[in-house]
Chains A and B, each alone.
Chain A
């Protein structure tokens, strides 16, 4: 599964993308797995209220299931326009 990071999430983690094998059932489970990797992931995922998530490029929430998902992205609230 591709895991993408944008804006300050990317900066905190230090790179834009991870490729990983995961058995995580939901986005929340995936976040727990990532938090366990290294301290910078813990720093990036410290406050889930400050984050948004997209599964296969559709905005969703942290309880979304990951079965069949190919791409998950984490980022702060958007500021376009």
Chain B
């Protein structure tokens, strides 16, 4: 399990390749990448991501442990950035490996659903109109019920 909470950017290709290269006996690697999205017409000046140092790593490890007990997985990688990001910056990635694709896909979805509402990150969008905290969506909480 490799969990990283960092301010710096990461190289998606290098991370995905390195993750795939260290999987032994696995037939599937699934990766998900989150990208900072500009909701308007180029008016997102910045996305600020706050987190709770100490708890963040613990919370993500707990979610990853849960995934490892539910599915037959080789390994899990989670990278999540904090600090000030711009539109189109990569904000996070998740990778899972498994002997078969279905489990790798399901585990990646499970990790994403839980990361969204159980890992202590908060996003603030800065636009010309001001800065606003992104509100949690009911759908995100509802998404947990399927697991």
Contacts and interface: CB of A to CB of B under 8 A. Distances in A.
Interface in A1-24: 4, 6-8
Interface stretch (A25-33, A39-47, A61-69, A71-79): A71-79
Contacts of B55: 54, 57, 73
Q: Which of B91, B92, B136 is packed against the most chain A CB atoms within 10 Å?
A: B136
Contacts of A77: 117, 135-136, 141
A8 B136 CA distance: 13
B115 interface: yes
Contacts of A8: 133
A36 interface: no
B92 A54 contact: no
Given A6-B50, A59-B118, A73-B52, A78 B34 contact: no
22 contacts: A6-B52, A7-B50, A7-B124, A57-B54, A57-B55, A73-B120, A75-B52, A75-B120, A76-B135, A78-B117, A78-B122, A79-B121, A79-B123, A79-B133, A80-B120, A80-B121, A81-B34, A81-B91, A81-B92, A81-B112, A81-B115, A81-B121
B116 A80 contact: yes
Contacts of B50: 6-7
A38 B57 CA distance: 33
B122 A7 contact: yes
Nearest 9 A-B pairs (CB), nearest first? A80-B121, A77-B136, A57-B55, A7-B122, A81-B116, A80-B119, A79-B134, A79-B123, A81-B115
Given A57-B58, A59-B59, A78 B133 contact: no
A47 to B, nearest CB: 13
A33 to B, nearest CB: 22
Contacts of A58: 58
Contact of B119 (A4, A6, A78): A78
A29 to B, nearest CB: 22
A80 B115 CA distance: 6
A78 B59 CA distance: 12
Contacts of B134: 79
